[in-house]
Structures are given as structure tokens and as C-alpha cells.
């Protein structure tokens, strides 16, 4: 029986003409085996960064239709090249941009959310033995503006397409063979994990793991699409992202996740009254900025007694949007931006039933002399903002403390 399968290829998988040609060879083999692929591709590696750098030379804070039109263009290049490579091999293809397929999103530029996809067009193409090759990362809003889904958003395009055609799995091909207990570049003893639950993967993505885009995991969870992250360069299974009930081993902590590009905004004095904070965080949320660590404290200096300080962290990518919002809202407030921060977190569904994880987390960082700037916890994670310089020792020691190290 032939199987319709959405297959997403990241930037390195289409990073050069040689890679595109060998990807086309692999797809030809998949088709010969009876698979009916729907392909989603990212831009060639490095291209989106180049486009962003061009825009930022003109105005680092501009976000709007022109920005999205610019940064969405990388995918147009990669899908066309891949289509040409497949046509050369005798495979019929149809390269598709978001507007041609009707990937409808809201109008939050640079962070749009998919509202609707017309899956029937894809099925029609597949039934005619035509391989749809869809530009990841982009959408179109109700006014026909091009939108983009946030960095790494091609994963979300793929899982949303899988949901739209009611597929029960989606393959995400990337340059790593699996999801690890930590980023192996930071923690050399990190191990591959064969299964994570949607909740764990969502926390990991929210906390800085770049392996999968957070929205793709949310959509997977909501529509029951199992996500299989695997290597473009090796033909073997990687990591499955599944409902919690299907993940057998429930480690107390299943991963140590970090975001090396955390920025902290400090505001003083916070305008009095409850209105300011509500307005600030509402506006940031409307722009798609995720603020997950917030602290407010009273000044203890005699001259400013009673006035409030506010600190919150965002990822570096959200600094321009945040700065824009603060420019509008925080009048007569001292705004300080500290950029060389990192966020370190431990995640695991097993934390729900095991007390004492916080104690071990803080004791480990204390033993390593790592000062903690701000902290936050949820049912299945603990995170702290620390200085970038302390990241490596914090990550490796937490990885050891929670018995995640590879045994060799």
C-alpha cells in the first residue's frame, strides 16, 4: 500500500546543489518503494540569516509585510531547485508557495500563526503522481500579504500540512540523527533519546532547544500527528515525539535545555498602578514575543523606596520587537538591556511525581558557583537565567546530576 507522507527537509539538507541532487536521489528511492511524498523545504542554510542581515542594515527594528516578503524568499529558491532536480530524474513535481496552496495565517509579521490550510489540493496532486514541493516558513494573510512563521517555522508548515491531510505522522529530516538529552556541542556526554512526549518537547522548544519549532509540536499534539525527527544523511530511525502514554520510560528529568541567546530587560521605575504591566505583556504577546521569566521587586535604596523594578527575559531574536514595544509604552522609565545571558533548564514529565528536583537543581548550580539572575518553574521544568560564561559548566553538571550522561 502506498503511503502519503509529509517530509520536511531543513536548510543543510538543501544547502548546496550537491545536497539537493542527493536529496532528489533519495526521494526517487522513496517513491520507488511506494511512498507518496509531500515535500516541504527550508531555505538553503545561511540564506535566511543573510536576508535578515540585509534588512537590518537598513532598519534593525522594522517588522512588517516587506520584512516577511524578503525573508520568505529563501524558500522560493530552494523548492524551485529541488523541483528541477526531481524533474531531471523524471519525477513530476509542483513547486508551491504559500499563497498558491492557501496557507492562511494571521497578520502577526515575523511570527504569524497558521489559521487554515487547504489540504485537498495536495491530495489531488499526489493522486495524479505529482510531488508537491511546498515552501516552508511562509503563509499569506487575509489581505494577501506574505507572512512568515518565526525562525525555524518550516517544521510547523510540515506538521500543519500533515494535520490538514489527516496524516498520522510527519517526518522532519535534519542534520542531526536524533534529539539528544542536551545539545552535544555543549554537553559531550549527551545521549540520543528515542521518544519524547509532546509536552516535554514543547517545553524544550520554548526554553531554547532549536531542534523543533514550538508551534509544530503544538499542532502535532492538537491533531495527533506523530513527529519523527531523523537524519537526512543516514537511513535510520531518529526520535519520535508522541503522546505521553506512548513514551514508556519516564525519567524525572529527560533533558537539559539551554538558550545561549537570552536577553534581559530591566525597567526602573515601573509606572505605578496595575495598568502598565498588563498593557506591556499584552502588547508583547500580541507581537508573538514569549516572555517566560518575569520578576518584580521593590527598590531597597532609601532615595527610591517604594518604587518597583521589573526584569524579564526574552530570546535574542525577540529583542527588536521588545525594544519597539518599550519605546512606545515605557515613557520616563529607565530601560536596560543585558544581552550576554543564557537560560539553562531541566525538563521532564517525571517531575510531576517526584519532589526534590528544584533542590537538586539549585544545589548543583551552587556547588559550581553559578550565580542565578532569575528563575522560573512549571510542573515539568525548572529554568534559570545565568551568565553566558557559566553556561557550559552549568549544563554539564546538571546533566550529570540527573543521570543523563552517556555511559561509554
Residue 151 touches which member of Mg ion, ligand ASP, none, C-beta under 5-8 Å by kind: ligand ASP
Residues in region 132-161 near ligand ASP by CB under 6 A = 136-137, 151-154
How far apart are CB 153 and Mg ion at their closest, in Å?
A: 8
Does 317 engage in binding with ligand ASP (CB under 6 A)?
no
- Side-chain half-sphere CA neighbours of 260 within 13 A: 12
| Residue 294 near residue 277 (C-beta atoms within 8 A) | no
Does 119 engage in binding with Mg ion (CB under 5 A)?
no
Does 238 engage in binding with Mg ion (CB under 5 A)?
no
How far apart are CB 137 and ligand ASP at their closest, in Å?
A: 4
Q: How far apart are CA 122 and CA 93, in angstroms?
A: 11
Question: Which residue's CB comes closest to Mg ion?
Answer: 152
Closer residue to ligand ASP, CB minimum distance, 48 or 255? 48
| Residue 43 near residue 262 (C-beta atoms within 8 A) | no
235 Cβ contact list (under 8 Å, min separation 6): none
- 24, 43, 179, 263: which one contacts ligand ASP (CB under 6 A)? 43
How far apart are CB 129 and Mg ion at their closest, in Å?
A: 29
Q: What is the CA radius of gyration of the chain?
A: 22
| Count of residues touching ligand ASP (by CB under 6 A) | 11
Q: How far apart are CA 98 and CA 132, in angstroms?
A: 12
Does 73 engage in binding with ligand ASP (CB under 6 A)?
no
Residues in region 9-38 near Mg ion by CB under 5 A = 10
| Residue 95 near residue 133 (C-beta atoms within 8 A) | yes
Closer residue to ligand ASP, CB minimum distance, 140 or 252? 140
How far apart are CB 173 and ligand ASP at their closest, in Å?
A: 12
How far apart are CB 42 and Mg ion at their closest, in Å?
A: 7
**Burial class, 59, CB count within 10 angstroms (exposed 0-12 / middle 13-18 / buried 19+):** exposed
How far apart are CB 136 and Mg ion at their closest, in Å?
A: 9
Q: How far apart are CA 169 and CA 162, in angstroms?
A: 7
Does 42 engage in binding with ligand ASP (CB under 6 A)?
yes
How far apart are CB 179 and ligand ASP at their closest, in Å?
A: 16
Write each residue from 203 to 232 as x if it is in contact with ligand ASP (CB under 6 A), else as -, in one continuous string. ------------------------------
Residue 105 touches which member of Mg ion, ligand ASP, none, C-beta under 5-8 Å by kind: none
- 15, 74, 208, 238: which one contacts ligand ASP (CB under 6 A)? 74
Closer residue to ligand ASP, CB minimum distance, 153 or 238? 153
Strands 169-174 and 226-231: parallel
Bridge partner list, 263? 314
Residues in region 123-162 near Mg ion by CB under 5 A = 152
Residues that bind Mg ion (CB under 5 A): 10, 152
Residues that bind ligand ASP (CB under 6 A): 11, 42-43, 48, 74, 136-137, 151-154
Amino acid at each position: 500500500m502506498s503511503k502519503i507522507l509529509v517530509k520536511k527537509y531543513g536548510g543543510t539538507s538543501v544547502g548546496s546543489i550537491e545536497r539537493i541532487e542527493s536529496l532528489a536521489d533519495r526521494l526517487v528511492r522513496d517513491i520507488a518503494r511506494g511512498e507518496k511524498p509531500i515535500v516541504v523545504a527550508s531555505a538553503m542554510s545561511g540564506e535566511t540569516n543573510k536576508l535578515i542581515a540585509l534588512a537590518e542594515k537598513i532598519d534593525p527594528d522594522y517588522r512588517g509585510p516587506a520584512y516577511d516578503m524578503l525573508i520568505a524568499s529563501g524558500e522560493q529558491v530552494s523548492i524551485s531547485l529541488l523541483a528541477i532536480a526531481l524533474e531531471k530524474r523524471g519525477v513530476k513535481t509542483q513547486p508551491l508557495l504559500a499563497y498558491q496552496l492557501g496557507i492562511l495565517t494571521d497578520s502577526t509579521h515575523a511570527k504569524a500563526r497558521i489559521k487554515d490550510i487547504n489540504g485537498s489540493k495536495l491530495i489531488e496532486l499526489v493522486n495524479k503522481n505529482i510531488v508537491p514541493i511546498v515552501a516552508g516558513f511562509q503563509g499569506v494573510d487575509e489581505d494577501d500579504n506574505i507572512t512568515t512563521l518565526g525562525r525555524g517555522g518550516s517544521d510547523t508548515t510540515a506538521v500543519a500540512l500533515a494535520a490538514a491531510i489527516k496524516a498520522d505522522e510527519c517526518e522532519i529530516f535534519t542534520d542531526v540523527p536524533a534529539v539528544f538529552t542536551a545539545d552535544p556541542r555543549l554537553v559531550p556526554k549527551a545521549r540520543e533519546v528515542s521518544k519524547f512526549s509532546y509536552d516535554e518537547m514543547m517545553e524544550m522548544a520554548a526554553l531554547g532547544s532549536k531542534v523543533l519549532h514550538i508551534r509544530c509540536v503544538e499542532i502535532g499534539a492538537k491533531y495527533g500527528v506523530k513527529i519523527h525527527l531523523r537524519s537526512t544523511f543516514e537511513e535510520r530511525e531518529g526520535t519520535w515525539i508522541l503522546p505521553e502514554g506512548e513514551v514508556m520510560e519516564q525519567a524525572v528529568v529527560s533533558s537539559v535545555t539551554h538558550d545561549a541567546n537570552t536577553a534581559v530587560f530591566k525597567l526602573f521605575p515601573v509606572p505605578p498602578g496595575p495598568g502598565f504591566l498588563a498593557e506591556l505583556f499584552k502588547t508583547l504577546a500580541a507581537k508573538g514575543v514569549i516572555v517566560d521569566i518575569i520578576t518584580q521587586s521593590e527598590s531597597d535604596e532609601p532615595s527610591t523606596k517604594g518604587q518597583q523594578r521589573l526584569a524579564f527575559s526574552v530570546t535574542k531574536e525577540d529583542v527588536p520587537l521588545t525594544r519597539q514595544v518599550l519605546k512606545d509604552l515605557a515613557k520616563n522609565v529607565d530601560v536596560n538591556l543585558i544581552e550576554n545571558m543564557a537560560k539553562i533548564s531541566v525538563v521532564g514529565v517525571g517531575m510531576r511525581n517526584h519532589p526534590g528536583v528544584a533542590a537538586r537543581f539549585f544545589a548543583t548550580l551552587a556547588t559550581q558557583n553559578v550565580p542565578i539572575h532569575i528563575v522560573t518553574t512549571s510542573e515539568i521544568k525548572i529554568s534559570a537565567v545565568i551568565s553566558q560564561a557559566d553556561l557550559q559548566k552549568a549544563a554539564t553538571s546538571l546533566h550529570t546530576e540527573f543521570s543523563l550522561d552517556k555511559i561509554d
